[in-house]
Structure 1
Amino acid sequence: MTTICLIRHGETDWNAIGKLQGSTNIPLNNKGIQQAEECGAFLIPSDYDVLIASPLKRAKRTAEIINSYLNLPLVEMEDFVERSFGDAEGMTVEERQTLYPNREFPNKEERQLFNNRVMAGIDKLAQTYSDQRILLVAHGAVINAILSTISKGEIGSRKTTLKNACISNINFHKEQWSVKNYNKIDHLTNYQHIK
C-alpha cells in the first residue's frame, strides 16, 4: 500500500493577517518555523521513505526543517505549487470580498486545470514510489484539492479550512485512494487551546 502524509506549510506573515498568497513566494514567519519544528519532532523517521515538497519558500523551508529530524531523501515537485489566485494575491479577505464578491479573480489558475495538475502529481507519486510511505509538504489549496478529489467533494475545497502545519493522511490500496484522516493538529502547541 502506498501512503501519503500531507503536511500544510507553517505560518507566514500573510497567513497571520489573512492575505491570499497563492503562488506569491512568501517565507515562513517565526511561528511557522516553530510549527515546522513541532512537525519534525512529532513524526517518526522510520515511518517514511521519502519527503516531497513544493518549491515555494514556505513549503520548502517547512520540509527542510522537518527533514532535519527525519533525514529522508528530499525531492521538490512543481506539481504541488500553490494555485495562482491572479490579481487577488496579496489582498486581505475584506479587500477580496469588496473587489471580487463572486471570487472570480482575474488571471487566476482555473480550478479544473489546478486540480488536474495536482492530481497528476499524486499519480506520479503513486507510480514512482509504489508501496512506499511518502511525506508531502504543500499548500492549503493543494491539499484541499487532493482531499476533495479523493472524497468526491465530501471534504476539502470550500469545505475544510486547513490549519498551518496540519497533518492529513491518504492511502492508495487496490488502485483506489482513500482519506484516512485530515487537519490533525494535536502536535501543535499553537492550536491546542482551541480544539
Structure 2
Amino acid sequence: MKTTIYLIRHGLTAANKNDVFAGRTQEPLHPEGAAQMANVGRMLAGRGIGRIVCGPLARTRQSAGIVGEMLGVPIVTEESLNEINIPHWDGLTKEAIRARFGPEYPTWLADPAGFSVEGCETIGAVQGRAVACVESLFREYPGQNLLVVTHLIVVRALLLHYLARPLGDFRAIKVGNAQVARLVRDDFAGVTVEF
C-alpha cells in the first residue's frame, strides 16, 4: 500500500520579495503567491488529495485554503509544521539582522545546522517535530494522498531527513515558493522522495 504526501512551501509573500525574515509573523500571501497556489490547486486536481495539513501561520493557512477550496477537501492546522522560532529576527530585513545581532546571521548562513542561540529553535529541533508530524500522518492515513503546506526551513529539514542527508546539507536543498515535492511511503520500500 502506498501513502503519498505532497509537501509544499507556501506561496510567495511580500517578505519573500523584500528579503525579510518573516519567521512567525502573520505575513499574508502576496497576490503572486495566491496565483501560485491556484496553479498548485489545478496541478493537484484529480490526484485524490483527501486532506490538507498546514502550519498555523497566515501564509500557510491562506495557501492551504486556496488549494482546499479548489479541491473541496478539509484543512487541518498543525503546530508542528510551524516556521522555525527565532523571535528576535521576526519581521526584520536580513540587513537589519546583520546590523543588530552581530555574528548570528553569518553563522546562520555558514553553518545553519550548528546555529544555536539562547531562546531560539535549532534546525535539528524543527526537523524532529516535523518528522514526527509526517510519520504520524503516514500512520493515520495509510493508502491516502495528503497535502502538507509549510515553510522553507521545515520543507528543507524534512527533505534532508527522507533523503538520508545530514543537516549540514541544509543550504544545498533549494525550495521555491509553492514548489511541490512528494514523499511516498510504500509498505515494502520505505519512503521515496520525488523532488
Task: Note whether the superposition's TM-score is higher than 0.5.
Answer: yes
Helix, strand or coil: the match of 2:171?
Answer: coil
Query: Residue 107 of structure 2 aligns with which residue?
Result: 102
Bigger mean CA deviation after superposition, 42-51 or 141-150: 42-51
Query: Residue 13 of structure 1 aligns with which residue?
Result: 14
User: Which sections of structure 1, spanning at least 5 residues, go unmatched?
Assistant: 182-195
Which residue, out of 153, 176, 182, partners 2:190? 176
Deviations 1:128-185 (A, max 9, x none): 111111111111111111101111227972212311111111111137222122xxxx
Report the number of matched residues: 181
Deviations 1:33-65 (A, max 9, x none): 111111112222443221111121100111110
Which residue, out of 138, 143, 164, partners 1:126? 138
Query: Residue 111 of structure 2 aligns with which residue?
Result: none
Is this contact kept in 2: 1:87–1:106, CA < 8 A? no
- How far off is 1:18 after superposition? 1.1
Equivalent position amino acid for 1:166 in 2: Q
Q: In the aligned structure 2, how far is the partner of 1:73 from the partner of 1:178? A: 26
Is this contact kept in 1: 2:45–2:71, CA < 8 A? yes
Residue 138 (structure 1) aligned with residue 147 (structure 2):
no
Helix, strand or coil: the match of 2:23?
Answer: coil
Residue 165 (structure 1) aligned with residue 178 (structure 2):
yes
User: Which sections of structure 2, spanning at least 5 residues, go unmatched?
Assistant: 109-114
CA distance 1:106–1:25, change in 2 (3 Å): farther
Residue 44 (structure 1) aligned with residue 45 (structure 2):
yes
- How far off is 1:127 after superposition? 1.0
Helix, strand or coil: the match of 1:49?
Answer: strand
Equivalent position amino acid for 1:25 in 2: Q
Residue 150 (structure 1) aligned with residue 162 (structure 2):
yes
Bigger mean CA deviation after superposition, 156-165 or 51-60: 156-165
Helix, strand or coil: the match of 2:21?
Answer: coil
Question: Under a length normalisation based on structure 2, what TM-score does the superposition of the two structures give?
Answer: 0.85
Question: Under a length normalisation based on structure 1, what TM-score does the superposition of the two structures give?
Answer: 0.85
Is this contact kept in 2: 1:54–1:138, CA < 8 A? yes
Bigger mean CA deviation after superposition, 97-106 or 83-92: 97-106
Query: Residue 70 of structure 2 aligns with which residue?
Result: 69
Q: In the aligned structure 2, how far is the partner of 1:159 from the partner of 1:22? A: 21
